[in-house]
Amino acid sequence: MDKLCIRGGKPLAGEVGIGGSKNAALPALAACLLTAEPVRLTRIPPVRDIGTMEKLLAWTGALVEVDGGEVLVHAGELQNPEAPYDLVKTMRASSLVLGPLVARTGRARVSMPGGCAIGARPINLHISALEALGARITQSHGYVEAQAPQGLHGAEVRFERITVTGTEDVMMAAVLADGETVIANAAREPEVQDLAVLLTKMGAQIDGAGTETIRIRGVAKLRGTEHRIIPDRIEAGTFMIAAAITGGNLLIRDCVPEHVHALTEQLRQAGAEASEEGPCTLRVSAGGRLRSADITTMEYPGFATDLQAQFMALMTTAQGIAIVTETIFENRFMHVPELARMGANIRLEGGQAIVAGVAELTGAQVIASDLRASASLVLAGLVAKGETLIDRVYHLDRGYEKIEAKLAAVGADIRRVQ
């Protein structure tokens, strides 16, 4: 099992290029199941979750060809409309194939999602929405089974609360349904918008993606196309925080500044400099000790829950007291005990973490519990005095492509050890 070894105290400087969005690539790959024609996707990040999804598509019967960051999917025939547990037990996104499979083949059998232990992501929101579209769904032995032998039909779907994967799943099901589907209280994330762009290229008729109401008029079939995945806003945000926490100066290329606007504002409030140097470029720098700033995670365009752990790491050495409020997942403070091992002063009170900044962190042996928690430990290690050894970095590999190489290229003392 790999570990990361970090010696902190080095300000980062230079340029970092951002890869394609994992959270946009996963639904895009699932959408390839909706057509019998080839779909070519580019800027696909070669991270572990993507590899799992590619194996899942191949299991269903699709031809999957991977060439670096380019993936060609040809789902001519789908003999196995199923997502077995052994394939998807490490990935939260398995539910994304439920809608496409039942829409395309009239049936689907999907294992309940696995992945990070950051809290419940109830699939009941997907299920009730697909039932509104006419699918008959049963649950047993850890699987969700959907049947729609006569096809799906349009309906009004109103989510009780905003769900990104639920919105994406219903969008993919509705594009082949008979009639019009209206999704109310829809997620507005950039990844949802990117999926809508892809589906539209394939021949779908979608209006309102990026707003709280999405309208979809079903079509008889979709065609093949080519699509380039949007940049990963969470990777961009992680490197923005890396620049700030180390007192460095990073030029972050190939990003969409608008997608990280909430983080940019909080970094400025904390005393860091953050500016756009072009339509796809951000510069973040910091000098001296930052000051505390409160955050509350919210659905887009609010502060992303996937950046909460990283921002908390930044606040551990800021001057003052910061209150971090988590509203999306009920168990997303699993990094707190590990940060405390490094000297952080954090008290948990329900859905809030109260972070009193300390003068310095010290290196320690720590364990990553989930994807974004592992990123927060890397950030803490970059500024900690001495050596930090992070175990279970396979969590990190689920969402970041060779993060240690990118950090080393801008001055970090970091290496992977086996």
The strand pair at 365-367 and 387-391 is best described as parallel
Question: DSSP code of 3?
Answer: E
Amino acid making up residue 409: A
What is the torsional sign of CA 86, 90, 95, 96?
negative
The strand pair at 13-17 and 3-7 is best described as unpaired
Cβ neighbours around 350 below 10 Å, total: 9
Cβ neighbours around 405 below 10 Å, total: 12
* C-alpha to C-alpha distance for 61 and 239, rounded to whole angstroms: 38
Q: What SS3 class is residue 274?
A: strand
Find, among 165, 100, 169, 110, the residue nearest to 141 by Cα: 110
CA-based end-to-end distance of the chain: 6
* C-alpha to C-alpha distance for 80 and 67, rounded to whole angstroms: 25
CA distances from 124 to 2, 121, 175 (A): 36, 9, 21
Find, among 250, 235, 238, the residue nearest to 12 by Cα: 250
Catalytic annotation, residues: 116
> Who contacts 378 (Cβ-Cβ below 8 Å, separation ≥6)?
4, 6, 390, 396, 403, 407, 414
CA distances from 42 to 70, 106, 164, 302, 362 (A): 4, 29, 22, 28, 41
Question: 135 is written with which tokens?
Answer: 């699918």
Q: What is the dihedral of CA 258, 259, 263, 265, to 10 degrees?
A: 20
* C-alpha to C-alpha distance for 257 and 275, rounded to whole angstroms: 9
- In contact, 305 and 326? CB cutoff 8 Å: yes
